Chains A and B, each alone.
Chain A
Amino acid sequence: MLLLLPGVALLAGVVLYPLIAALVTAFFEQSLVLPGRTFVGLQNIVEVLQGDFLRLLRQTLVFTLGTTILPFVVGFALALALNTKIRGAKVLRGLMLIPWLVPGVVVSFLWMWIFNANYGVMNALLQTLGLVDDPQAWLAQPGTAMGAVILAKTWQSFPWMMVMLLAGLQTVPVELHEAAEMDGAGTVRRFFAITMPHLKGIVGLVLLLEFIWNFQHFDIIYVLTGGGPAGATQTFATAVYETAFQGYDLGKAGALGLLWMVLLMALVVVYVRFSEKGEER
């Protein structure tokens, strides 16, 4: 049991206590910079709910789903393509990892630079190809900002998906494919009948982990758009941070967090179910 002590102590000190303390502030009016606090009951929570809570929820979900599904599609496609015997597959596998190894802040800088409205290479490229007439302010229009952020995050996380799925693909027995091929099963049929069942575990895992991580992702949004324009890319994570550290309003940040946690509880149930299933097998 002593083996658990350091880990449990860390979790208690760095996660549990701060979590509970932060949730408690939801019921107080408290400033980051001024001392003292007053109990205000549900006022903060009501204010948050009356404010743009639903918009935040929607945007958080759009971001989370987008940054989970898109990298999965790109990563899976690449994994399948690189699992064939095309020339240079090995070198490509290595090169494709680069985006994943780049720190989140750098990813943001790079895409900020690419998307820049006035001297970005994205506009130049699209104009050269004749796809847009005028340079677009990708990060400064509510219609495109979220898409741009999702694209940047996708760029960062697809290699991870690719690596995991490739590892999974490598465990699919070739004999099964060969036997099925002899029986006349086409590529698509074999993919669904043989490959997919083998990958089920790993697909579930990467999707779940990505979802959890993206739900609270902060870095790329914060550096790329700061939640803007006009709050169009704000998610729970950036909203909590801004409320606390730029608005100095700890009570409201706590209230946002509390509501966020309630939503998470639902996810925890799913998560635990999933882990339980894995455990039983």
Chain B
Amino acid sequence: MSATTQLPATPTPPSASSPAGGDAPRPPQRLRRGALRSERPGVRIAAWATVVVCGGFGLLPVYWLLATSLTPRDQVFSYPPKFFPSAPTLDAFAALASNEQLFGYLRNSVIVSVLTAVLSVLVSAYMGYSFSKFRYRGRRSLMYLVLASQMFPQALLLVTLYSVFSAYNLLNTYTALVLSFTTFTLPLCVWMLKGFFDTIPDELIEAARVDGASRLRIIHSIVLPLAAPGLIAAGLFAFVRGWNDFVFALTLAGPEKQTLPPGLVNTFIGEASTAWPELMAASLVVSLPVAIAFIALQKYLVGGLTAGAVKG
């Protein structure tokens, strides 16, 4: 795998899949990678066929999400449904704007996700740094334990966590959610960050130590800034975990502290009937922040996730 060892510190070519960042400057590379300049016609046809079939699978539901959100309430249950809404309306979105409860859930989601991201990055940076730069007994076992912990069934953990948080009066608090989410993001974040720290030359750290910098100082003012892309990747990953989680937020947080996913269930799946247009409109709105954050920062996330694997 000699070819892959020449990757720059930011491990992935930024053009990889960024719709926004397609024109970002490529890092210098000795070998050209990626697509061939010319393809045979057969390949082109196959490529197009794939795009049509798989692309249709990917995008038609998105279209339907949008179409439903624009359908008037009294038409939504007609069958066969209209593939193109005949009288599109923004009523559903207007209804959202006046739904205070939903804003509460949104606020909770933002708070919980941001706190989770920050805490995850801090904790996993320390841990990843320790795994990357120090050698001690039990290091390997601990690393495997951390990695393996994402395999433990979370539905099962929830059973006891519920009682534990209940005993410490932490049910219905942000703390309960942030602590759980942070822990569940640790394995991947630690692993991603360790990959980044591995690329930081030991000489740099040695030099700083010779200059008399303390260990924490080295971490905070030298290592972390160098690993900034990794930190962003880890933070983004943790944010998304907090934003998307359903079952923990449903079980550990009461109506006051619940985040959007269970909030949506509670708001729109009522006894009377399901308000599909509103639900779809809310779904769109919920997905937006993640989409924006992701599209802005995605090259880091992909880079972080592939760091270990591409490094080989």
The reply to whether A281 and B283 form a contact with Cβ atoms under 8 Å apart is: no
Contacts of A80 in B (CB 8 A): 47, 50
Chain B nearest Cβ from A246, distance in angstroms: 11
Q: Does B46 contact A (CB under 8 A)?
A: yes
Give the contact stretch, choosing among A42-50, A139-147, A171-179.
A171-179
Q: State in angstroms the CA–CA spacing of A148 and B208 once bound together.
A: 57
Q: Does B183 contact A (CB under 8 A)?
A: yes
Q: Would you give the 0/1 interface string for B58-90, flagging 1 where the beta carbon is closer than 8 Å to chain A?
A: 110110110010000000111111010000000
Q: State in angstroms the CA–CA spacing of A275 and B36 once bound together.
A: 32
Q: Is the interface of B mostly helix, strand, loop or mixed?
A: helix
Give the contact stretch, choosing among B95-103, B143-151, B199-207, B227-235.
B143-151
Q: A4-B127, A99-B61, A240-B159 are in contact. Are A18 and B164 (CB under 8 A)?
A: yes
User: Among residues 166 to 209 in chain A, which have CB atoms less than 8 Å away from a CB atom of chain B?
Assistant: 166-175, 177-178, 181, 187, 198, 201-202, 204-205
Q: Does B255 contact A (CB under 8 A)?
A: no
The reply to whether B80 and A238 form a contact with Cβ atoms under 8 Å apart is: no
Of the residues A14, A96, A215, A250, contact of B183 by C-beta under 8 Å: A14
Contacts of A187 in B (CB 8 A): 40, 42-43
Q: State in angstroms the CA–CA spacing of A115 and B36 once bound together.
A: 40
The reply to whether A268 and B287 form a contact with Cβ atoms under 8 Å apart is: no
Q: Which residues of B contact A (CB under 8 A)?
A: 1, 3-4, 7, 12-13, 15-20, 22, 31-40, 42-44, 46-48, 50-51, 54-55, 57-59, 61-62, 64-65, 68, 76-81, 83, 122-124, 126-127, 129-130, 134, 136, 140, 142-161, 163-164, 179-180, 182-184, 186, 190, 219, 243-244, 246-247, 251, 260-262, 264-265, 276, 279-280, 283, 286-287, 290-291, 294-295, 298, 302-303, 305-306, 308-310, 312
- CB-based nearest B residue for A106: B283
Q: Does A62 contact B (CB under 8 A)?
A: no
Q: Which residues of A contact B (CB under 8 A)?
A: 1, 3-4, 6-8, 10-11, 13-19, 21-22, 25, 74, 77-78, 80-86, 90-99, 101-106, 109-111, 113-114, 118-121, 123-124, 127-128, 135, 155, 158-159, 162-164, 166-175, 177-178, 181, 187, 198, 201-202, 204-205, 212-213, 215-216, 218-219, 222-223, 236-238, 240-241, 244-245, 250, 253-254, 256-257, 260-261, 264, 267-268, 271-272, 275, 278-279, 281
- CB-based nearest B residue for A9: B123
Contacts of B294 in A (CB 8 A): 97, 101
Contacts of B303 in A (CB 8 A): 167
Of the residues B62, B151, B243, contact of A271 by C-beta under 8 Å: B151
Q: A4-B126, A104-B261 are in contact. Are A170 and B15 (CB under 8 A)?
A: yes
Point out which of B44, B140, B280, B283 has the most chain A C-beta atoms below 10 A from its C-beta: B283
- CB-based nearest B residue for A220: B246
Contacts of B61 in A (CB 8 A): 99, 110-111, 114, 155
Q: A15-B183, A98-B291, A187-B42 are in contact. Are A174 and B155 (CB under 8 A)?
A: no
Point out which of B13, B130, B160, B294 has the most chain A C-beta atoms below 10 A from its C-beta: B160
Q: State in angstroms the CA–CA spacing of A188 and B154 once bound together.
A: 42
The reply to whether B265 and A166 form a contact with Cβ atoms under 8 Å apart is: no
Contacts of A84 in B (CB 8 A): 35-36, 39, 43-44, 47
Contacts of B1 in A (CB 8 A): 201, 281
Of the residues A82, A93, A168, A223, contact of B265 by C-beta under 8 Å: A223
- CB-based nearest A residue for B125: A3
Contacts of B286 in A (CB 8 A): 103, 106
Q: State in angstroms the CA–CA spacing of A140 and B302 once bound together.
A: 38
Of the residues B13, B64, B79, B140, contact of A170 by C-beta under 8 Å: B13
